[in-house]
Amino acid sequence: MTIEDLQDYSFDYKIDNVQAYPEIAGELDVVYNLYYTLFCHDPEFGDDYSSRVTGSQELVLGDINNMIPFEDLTEELVITWLTNALGQDGEELIKMDAAIKLNELLNPSSVTLKLLG
């Protein structure tokens, strides 16, 4: 499987949880770590088969003056933080892992069989 093969799959992130510092420099609930799941689907098979990869990503805390209040965070925004933190290479590696797992599910390289007698 190559990076080019990733275009044959669809990917969706879900933010499972975040870790936050209770207070930094007067700002409350400052998010610094993300826990996520990346789901991989092959459009040819719809949602009948999928794989997932879970992980965590620590964020680099930047300018504390531009903090967004925790209650204003959306999953879409946090996913943007995640993909920015992963970078293109990191995201491609995670997507490759998920696609390989899905490919193994759809085209197993080995199977477990039970003896009949």
Q: DSSP characters for 34-91?
A: EEEEEEEE-GGGTTSSEEEEEEEEEPPP--GGGPPPGGG--HHHHHHHHHHHHHHHHH
Distances from the Cα of 4 to the Cα of 9, 31, 92, angstroms: 10, 34, 10
pLDDT at 14: 98
Condensed to tens digits (0 to 9), the pLDDT of residues 5-50 reads 899 999 999 999 999 999 988 889 999 999 999 999 998 887 788 9
Confidence category of residue 64, pLDDT binned at 50, 70, 90:
low
- Bigger pLDDT: 64 vs 93: 93
Extents of the domains making up the chain: 3-106
- What tokens appear for 102 in the block? 């899905």
Share of the chain above pLDDT 70, in %: 97
Rounded to an integer, the average pLDDT of 46-60 is 91
pTM of structure? 0.86
